[in-house]
A and B are shown apart, each in its own frame.
Chain A
Amino acid sequence: MRTPRHSDERGIALAMAVFGIMVIGALVAGAFVAGRLEHRTSQNSLFAAQAFEAGEAGLSDMMTNWNTGTYNGMAAGDTLTLPTVMLDASTAYTGRVTRLNDNIFMVVSAGQKMNAGGGVMSQRLVGTFARLFLPVVQMNAAITVDGEMTIGGSAEATGMDWVPGGWGGCPAPADVAGIRTSADEINTNGANCNNLDCVDGSPQAVTNDATIDSTIFNNFGGITFDELAAMANFQISGVQNGLAPTLDAGGRCDTSNLLNWGEPWSATTFGACFNYFPILHAPGDVKLNGGRGQGTLLVEGDLELAGGVEFYGPVIVKGRVKSTGTGGHINGGIMAGQVDLDPSTFSGNSLAQFSSCAIMRALQAAATARPLGERAWTHVYSMY
């Protein structure tokens, strides 16, 4: 019997099997590629939607938590890029704020969807034009008082609108009364104030002013006293000695310093604080003793001025304002329940000087921003 040899086993089974495997493999690979393509396309749509929503969340976040201290102090044309905020493990937004002019800002939020390694899978940019909503403070005099007031000695109150030296972007000066009061008379003390000689303005003074009531101390246009107080940069109390602008190690205005209330004087080495107008809130009584500062001062108790302190901006006091010692200079305006600038208790060079410019700049810094009433929201196609 003959032993079979391999060379006798002819046929095409192996070739057929290989061919079949190739065909099936190609079909499976094709289906896999098509499926993967579809999956990736769907995933990209999902990533784009997630990035868009992250951008929207960022925009909403920035507008809701408007940083008055930082944004409102920016000069026109300045841009501030904010640190990236993670919304969850894979979505984030990066905000950017550009000041376009005195009142208008462009706020852009770049929403991102990222992979586990932090690589950006998708990015969408959305923005909104926002404008500052200035508190409307009815400050039509150097001193507005709801009740009795006494002025005397060398103290002065002038409603002649004054622009502090070196300040720009101010409204056209418009003179106002030196004093407005709801009472029927203004008490004077000392020869210097006979016949209200220490009061200047247009008109000099107004008594029995029916427009003065508690409303003007609590409602400032679309914002209340409490809302404004809630936005305060600092809560203050007791005695504030030696207000002075300070810079941090990087030469920026040191806004963390409780006694740094900005730099009202122009062309000094503290120019970085020139646009810094903090909101200062005293829940009770407070005394300012010497130095200089600017901003919006809100006092729920009594305010005492001493040591020749200089302050620029609106001062709203629910209690009394009192000057002692060398008193103080308020450039802007004072609103108070009662005012006592009596020289018998201090060496009378207190000054209440009306300045619409100081009031406006301080209120601009205190203003919140809201989207424009019309056409605020926009797609953004290149990073602002």
Chain B
Amino acid sequence: MKNRRGMTLIELMIAMVIFSIVGGLMLQFIVNTQRLSRDQAERADLQGDLRTGALLVPSELREVGVSATASDLQVMAANAIQYRAMRGFGVTCFVGPAEIRLLNTAAIPYSGVRRPFAARDRLLLFAEGDPATPADDSWADLVIVGVNMTSTCGARPAIALTVGPFAGTLPGGLADVVAGGPARVYEIMRLESYAAGGQIWLGARSVSAGEVSLMPVLGPLAAANGFQLAYLDANGNPTANNLLVRSIRVTLRGLTSAPVSRALGQAPAIVQDSIVTLVALRNAGP
């Protein structure tokens, strides 16, 4: 009898059925895993966005100054805020009517998120007035019209800032500003939620630099209340008076950029998450 090797038709059919079942299960597993992975990435993006917002917005607002007579808060809306944003500080080594020089040595460097820019930034100079009393201490506000990063004060490296005329109300004018005092560089910034591409985003623009369009910072956000600000006084009560603000409650409600699975039997949908931060204004008071 001839040696008949191989499989019978029945064996082959059984093998094919088993293979189909196993293959199908594996495919299902892979598809599910891929979807889960994509969903997780979406959720991670959303949480990352919120985390970024929770770091960035307080970092911007924390240095805002508010006193009994002046406030850095220029616009206070529920979904927008315009303020003096501190960009750096230094110590004066020369104070003239048209030029201020800031030390930039290893021991006393100019310290900032970036270097000062003419036309975009302004300068606040500490004016001590009578050294015997803090009651007359104030800050003189000047526009920066020129920046020389490689200037000197004697033999020490310095940054020379050409400034516009002083129009403030110091009793002695700029003579009240003594060399060796602090100086701050700032620009006017605006944070605001806005719509683009059918979605809501948190945007920022430099008002001082003349920027008209908001640059996206994070998003997408919930349409109605994705970026919400509440301005609170010393007692934690809402206030519309920019001289009384002591803290700002920032609420961010973010959305995933694509529908994600939620639970078995539920269709994928856009998911929302939120974070609330209370920013105590360090320079508000007393």
Contacts and interface: CB of A to CB of B under 8 A. Distances in A.
Interface residues on B, range: 35 or more
Given A373-B67, A374-B137, A381-B112, 12 more contacts: A30-B37, A31-B37, A38-B47, A41-B48, A45-B55, A79-B107, A100-B182, A101-B178, A102-B131, A378-B86, A381-B113, A382-B109
Interface in A73-124: 76-77, 79, 98, 100-104, 106
B109 A98 contact: no
Interface string A349-384: 000000000000000000000101111111111101
Contact of A104 (B138, B182, B184): B182
B126 interface: yes
A214 B190 CA distance: 55
Q: Which of A23, A38, A45, A101 has the most CB of B within 10 A?
A: A101
Determine the main DSSP class of B at the interface with A. Answer: mixed
Interface string B35-58: 011001100100110010001000
Interface in B113-134: 113, 124, 126, 128, 131-132, 134
Considering the complex of A and B, which 9 residue pairs feature the smallest CB-CB distances, nearest first? A101-B180, A377-B282, A375-B65, A381-B111, A27-B33, A129-B182, A382-B111, A374-B67, A38-B44
Contacts of B194: none
B108 interface: yes
B63 interface: yes
Contacts of B30: 23, 27
B148 interface: no
Interface of A: 2, 8, 16, 20, 23-24, 27, 30-31, 34-35, 37-38, 41-42, 45, 48, 76-77, 79, 98, 100-104, 106, 129, 131, 133-134, 136, 370, 372-382, 384
A38 B109 CA distance: 36
Interface of B: 3, 5, 22, 26, 29-30, 33, 36-37, 40-41, 44, 47-48, 51, 55, 59, 62-63, 65, 67, 70, 86, 88-89, 91, 107-109, 111-113, 124, 126, 128, 131-132, 134, 137-139, 178-182, 184, 282-283, 286
18 contacts: A31-B36, A34-B37, A35-B40, A76-B180, A77-B108, A100-B108, A101-B179, A101-B181, A134-B132, A373-B134, A374-B138, A374-B139, A374-B283, A380-B111, A381-B112, A382-B111, A384-B107, A384-B108
A136 B5 CA distance: 113
A379 B86 contact: yes
A42 B63 CA distance: 25
A168 B27 CA distance: 87
Contacts of B113: 379, 381
Given A31-B37, A34-B44, A41-B51, A374 B180 contact: no
A334 to B, nearest CB: 21
A40 B234 CA distance: 37
A103 B181 CA distance: 9
